[in-house]
Amino acid sequence: MGVAIMILVLLFSMCGGLTQSTQRRPQTGRRSSGAAAGAAGVSSALMSTLLDISAELMSLRDLVQKLRPLVVEQGMTIAELQATLGLTQDELKSTKSLLHQLEAENDGVKERLAASETKVEALESLNAAQEAQLTAVKARLTTTESDVGGLRKETAAQSADLRSVAERVAATETDMEHVKADTGALDADLTATKTEVTNLAKESVAQHTHLTAVKTKVMGLVKDNEAQHTGLATLKADVVRLTKDNAAQHADLTTVKTEVNNLNKENAAQDTRLSAIETEVEDLEMANAALEAELAAVKTRLAATETNVDNLEEKVTETPKVAFSAALTKSGYTEAGNKDLNLVFSTIISNVGQAYSSTTGFFTAPVKGVYYFRFNVMDILSTRWMYIKMFKNEEQVMFLGEYDSNGSWSYLSSGVTLQLDVGDVVNMRLPVGYRVYGSSDNHNIFSGFLLFAL
């Protein structure tokens, strides 16, 4: 799990590098857009991954907390621990698979970012070519407007000359009419007048020729003007179209700038979130390290506990089970003569481990350990003392008595815990001159069992 988190930290560093390279190239709007979109996708995937890892760590922590009381109580079996270990390994495999998926997504983001950068560079080249073409069209339009102005001035001058010639022709015709009207009166001046008329006729012919040439030139100028007007209309249409295209490109550029500003803001917000995520990852790494250390300690304690359990199981397996209860078989009185009587409880009620002998009345310790013994004896119709003794080997352990003042039923019972070595014997004895009363109701019983081995 620690290795997986280190790989995630490296992946965060790669994403941070992509974001910084995007901030160093703010002039390429679509490149920033692709980088921001890639960073947004990676940040979203990383956030989801971190949440999954946090959930896995919380589940591991809960698992460890659940293991503690179970380990302390020594109630968890080895099979359960192996199942828990298998679940942890499955979670580790799932985390590794998720990491591989994130790496594949990061490669896809890089490819998309490279494609976006290539497309932005092509758009920049196209925009530069369109700007150069627009500049050339503007220069041609300025030149055409200057030529049209010159033609207008020349046409105005020729129109003034034509009006002057027309006025002179009109004046000449008036003079000729006056001459004809005064022919009779001006016979003396006829020769001079004819000469003048001849000169005027020649001048009129020359002026007519000049006028014809002027008209021809004017017609040519009109045709040129019409052609120029047609070209100007075409240029104006081109200018209008280019103006519209330029306006559309300007609108697109404004939109791109707005998107770039928005992406820069989103990028800054993503940087802030990424910093917070990196801080959280560091905290998770520290928590994970603490959990791993705690888990290692738990594993150590668990191994020690398993060793203790194995030892206890071996001891339990090796330690024999010892317990017995026996009663006096004889009905009626059992009395001691002139010496202590060894009581033989010959009716076996239970004898696990066969440590009690119904023949001798002795219990022989099969293992070293702590044993518990208990007895119960009875006498009836006696107005005297009743006594009983217990011996360990030849050492008296207890000597108890009970006085019956009513001459009815009298009971005496007690118990003791003894530490015995292998081969030690324990038995009950009736003192000299005393008795007990037995029947099939088993009033007199001697019992004992092994508490634990030493």
The number of folded domains in the chain is: 2
From 272, 287, 315, the end of a domain falls on 315
Same domain, 365 and 311: no
Q: Are the C-beta atoms of residues 310 and 303 closer than 8 Å to each other?
A: no
Question: Do 416 and 353 have their domain in common?
Answer: yes
Residue 403: strand, helix, or coil: strand
Q: Judge whether 91 lies within some domain.
A: yes
DSSP string, 222-272: HHHHHHHHHHHHHHHHHHHHHHHHHHHHHHHHHHHHHHHHHHHHHHHHHHH
**d(C-alpha 439, C-alpha 386), whole Å:** 17
Say if residue 363 is in the same domain as residue 387: yes
pLDDT of residue 3: 46
Domain that holds residue 400: 323-453
Within 8 A by CB and 6+ apart from 422, the residues are 365, 366, 367, 368
Averaging pLDDT over each range in 70-84, 320-334, 416-430, which range is the top one?
416-430
Same domain, 31 and 74: yes
As a whole number, the mean pLDDT across the chain is: 80
Low-confidence winner among 17-26, 115-124, 215-224, 238-247 (lowest mean pLDDT) = 17-26
- Asked whether residue 36 falls in the same domain as residue 65, the answer is yes
* Interatomic CA distance for residues 225 and 195, integer angstroms: 43
pTM for this predicted structure: 0.36
Res 340: pLDDT: 93
Q: What is the pLDDT of residues 151-164, one digit of tens each?
A: 778 767 777 876 87
Are 58 and 121 found together in one domain? yes
The one-letter amino acid at 42? V
Residues 332 and 291 in one domain: no
Tens digit of each residue's pLDDT (9 = 90 or more) over 367-395: 999 999 999 999 886 657 889 999 999 99
Asked if the structure places residue 260 within a domain, the reply is yes
Closest CA to 377 of 402, 405, 406: 402
* Domain-terminating residue out of 315, 337, 367: 315
For residues 121 and 72, state if they share a domain.
yes
* Judgement on whether residues 310 and 448 belong to the same structural domain of the protein: no
Tell me the CATH number at 391. Answer: 2.60.120.40
